[in-house]
Structure 1
């Protein structure tokens, strides 16, 4: 039951965020600072819940290699989407969101194997905080580019289903996999998330929230750190 509760909460926020972007309205500075809080929370959770355990389990070299690989894959694909494909419509935005969302949710599914509810809550909470403002911003951009509300919602529902499947695969298919393989997956996911924070989340947060975004990111980090301590 835990996996379905986590999937509903985490992936459901994509749809809620899309509805927010289509029909809701918040001042740009508030959107930027919410995004910064989400980025700060996700940053510390990635380190504590994904990278740090991998160092303990598999060593620094393996951790560094797979984390860098995840960052390279995200950065390379993001570059192709932005610079080569020049995609401004729903497909390009959907690809950018799911690129880091799939490994995030795969890692979330893997974390469910530990049975530590608070550890899962720490990672799930950070992903939730990240998904909501990202989906809202993405849906708003799609609307500006002329997509209908129905098309936009269908795209985000599709993204939610895809990320849910990633979490289920992480939980079911990797149940009996060696811990070293799980550590590699976690590190790859961490690298992709870190790259997305650097190229997508924090630049957008600063643009909308100005210098207050730095304070908001710190608040998000502290909140996630406090939550992670409950799993200790």
Structure 2
């Protein structure tokens, strides 16, 4: 199950890149899908990462680690954009990689000892997030003059990197104490929350205006429903 989930989620980057390079993707559709994924990811992050961690560790320490995860992601995201620029090919690729590492690390950690339904909401929301982000990023890179073949290779390499992040999170952390695992989940959860605030929701509103609010609610409802199936 671990390999299947990781392959499907990271494969969304390649599928999205192909969609952006060779297909058609309206800005509104992209914004709607990004907002829907963001709503689902909020629920998944809280229910699958942060809340279980709080139950196994000191709430003060756990919430402090959530803040640390958000702070580290924010600082790194700022440095990436300052160095490469958010509109350049390198900036787009660096941003999606930076955004995807905590998400996929969180996915790998969540898969430890979990059944399929427990991680369905998290993996599904990451898939929905990766798909339009890769499509929009690949489309922008081809507009800036990069060849279609080069862009597809870059996004394929990014998918491989994020797959490795999820796999390492799953394999290397399987035997760590519960309290340590709880802290790692909180850190990853904080990073994901920061990525939603900085990358996902502003983009969704910019592309799809007020429909982004409806899409976010739909994603949230879907994630809650999927989580209820595993309860």
Which TM-score band applies after superposition, normalised by the shorter structure? over 0.9
TM alignment of 1:77-226, pairs within 5 A: 77-86=76-85, 88-226=87-225
Contiguous gaps of at least 5 residues in structure 2: none
Counterpart Cα distance in 2 of 1:170 and 1:6? 13
Q: CA deviation at 1:115?
A: 3.1
Match of 1:55 in 2: 54
Counterpart Cα distance in 1 of 2:130 and 2:222? 16
For residue 177 of structure 1, give the secondary structure of its aligned residue in structure 2.
coil
Matched positions, count: 231
Q: CA deviation at 1:134?
A: 1.1
Counterpart Cα distance in 2 of 1:73 and 1:186? 14
**Cα RMSD (Å) of the superposition?**
1.4
Counterpart Cα distance in 2 of 1:100 and 1:59? 27
Counterpart Cα distance in 1 of 2:114 and 2:195? 28
Moved more, 39-48 or 55-64: 55-64
| 1:119-162 deviation digits (Å, cap 9, x = unpaired) | 12221111111111111111122122211111111111111111
8 Å contact 1:7–1:164 — kept in the other structure? yes
Q: 1:158–1:23: structure 2 CA closer, same or farther, 3 Å change rule?
A: same
Match of 1:10 in 2: 9
